[in-house]
Structure 1
Amino acid sequence: MSDAAFVPGADPVVLVVDDADDDQRLDQCLARRVPELSRARLQGLIRAGHVDVDGATVTEPKRKVKAGAAIAVALPAPEPSNAVAEAIPLEIVYEDPHLLVVNKPAGLVVHPAAGHASGTLVNALLAHCGSELSGIGGVARPGIVHRLDKETSGLLVVAKSDAAHQGLAAQFADHGRTGPLERTYRALAWGAPKPVEGRIDAPIGRAPNHRQRFAIVASGKPAVTHYSTDRRFPASDPIASLVSCRLETGRTHQIRVHLSAKGHPLLGDTLYGAGFRTKANRLPAAVRERIDALSGQALHAAVLGFAHPVTGETLRFESPLPPDLDALLAALDTLPADAPGRSRF
């Protein structure tokens, strides 16, 4: 958490530059001291004239600051959200005045964007708790502090109050290094990773030649995934495996990129596993049908744990595989020991 609480529309919060940030960029200094606000958000506040240094407004994020300087940061009152409340059913597994945890189905987009102006999780949340929304992100809307891909199902925490948004954002920015933040996914992948458990540490950024894809690139953001193989189908020379992945960071498409880079893209993933379509055609009909029935990649956010940002209580939630992934798992379980494995595809 930062040195003081930020409340949209309230008086500015004043931070004094310490020796560690002497001669650092203003945005870098604030990013370290105010982890609940993204660096992009802080840069936007600076450019919009909401940050003063020693009483003078500064609009250049790269302006250097000196130890002892007083930085005043004001969060403007949130703008009304353009999103419209929609009565979309939600599976809420926990709720209190500060936050809620939902079990998101595959196919539900988290936030309105180009091509998805309605029918999103945010639209549903506006209908559910529209009068209790966090505005720290600049717009009066549910505090989305982390996201799941459209076709990824599972657990997602949403802030309802500014205090919850600040605390949750700080935990996600810390990646669980100093707290109980826990994010574990279950995935059905082609083949089986070797070794059976390990740590993938590879930076992720936009793929150079495909704007919808991400890839392991030297200039990407740090990304770390811990994985373990739970089951193999069949046990020897496996066609597929059930893999648990624990995130140490939370980059876009992180698990999909990391596992595909090891040669084990997720079943149903047409973006990163297109090369496995012909291999799927050689599987028994019962398995093919279950893969074809998937709306996207076989990935589920199964475990979510964090410290309650207001009470400090450690909360932990588990979600079983949804019916389509559970049915695929059952079909894979019927594969005979002499089924064609990876090496014989």
Structure 2
Amino acid sequence: MTRLFSPLPLRGVTLPNRIAVSPMCQYSAVDGLANDWHLVHLGGLAQGGAGLVLTEAASVAPEGRISAEDLGIWEDGQIGPLARIAAFIKSQGAVPGIQLAHAGRKAGSGAPWKGNNVPPASWPGLAPSALPFDEGWPAPRALEEAGLRRVVAEFRAAAARALQAGFQVAEIHGAHGYLLHQFLSPLANRREDAYGGSLENRSRLLREVVAAVREVWPGNLPLLVRLSCTDWVPGGWDIGESVDLARMLGPLGVDLVDCSSGGMAPRAAIPVGPGYQVDFAARIRREAGIATGAVGLITGPAQAEEILAKGEADLVLLGRELLRDPRWPLRAAHKLGASTPWPAPYARGSREAVPLRDPQPEPGAWPR
């Protein structure tokens, strides 16, 4: 059996393979509610053979949305539409997962096709310090003690709703310049209290969120954390601190670190290329002794198989490649000589699987 198509047990859940759908904003929700677009998008990826299907960032508070068109899980009325999606994903043999997020000072930006860098206007940004994300962006409001307690409670309540909706995996978004990453990075966190300064202090809010989520997230279900393993800027958050943080997260009940990067500094020089973030997953896995997921321009079956076979990660997450080819896992299995089930109505198509295209590096990124 290929490594890519071997099961991955995480607590009481077993992923049928090691291919995950990376969270990708769809900018298609109204008032945070999932709709038919999300059902077809995520359901189609489950039909396509991914082992774990993660939703886009679902905001734990209305003011925490990346854009006004993003998913939310801050109120009970949002449970039903998400439950419909989780149930369909599960019916296709995949594991449904949800990413819980708060955008902090980056909240309220526009959809990419509407102007990705539109400053927030509809609600106030929240952050560790009153520092704007970029020129032209308004200064956010620095969170005080009551606000910090509210954020922790919002993540906890969102996790409880995710459980009601039927999700089996939860991922806490601590990457891409959003609120929890803002507390981690010295570029955004200039506090002098218990939430600023040392690594222990800067990571305090994330650790409190993890502990609060674990209070309501059952012990038999896995919990993931997505990290930006480096800001790609001198003096910012880096891979060494990511390793140290990963060592703290395991004992708190985190089962896998999803290793991304960037999003904190708008003009960071990021060396984008095939598998450019894999080394982060490999180092955290090796030095922190925790399972990791590799993400970032993983486009070919042989490339994904090699990452796993070399022990650089336990899981690969694909994003834009799955937008181009939602049936990528099924075709990858064909190319690698692995056996994986097709949806029964599509089974006749498995006899003439179309070869995958050769992977092509892409310039630029859209870290979400």
Give the structure, 1 or 2, with the largest relative contact order (CA under 8 Å, sep 6 or more): 2
TM-score > 0.5, shorter chain as reference: no
Name the TM tier (shorter chain). Answer: under 0.3
More strand by share: 1
Q: Which has the larger radius of gyration?
A: 1
After TM superposition, the score normalised by the length of structure 2 is 0.24
**TM-score, length basis structure 1:** 0.25
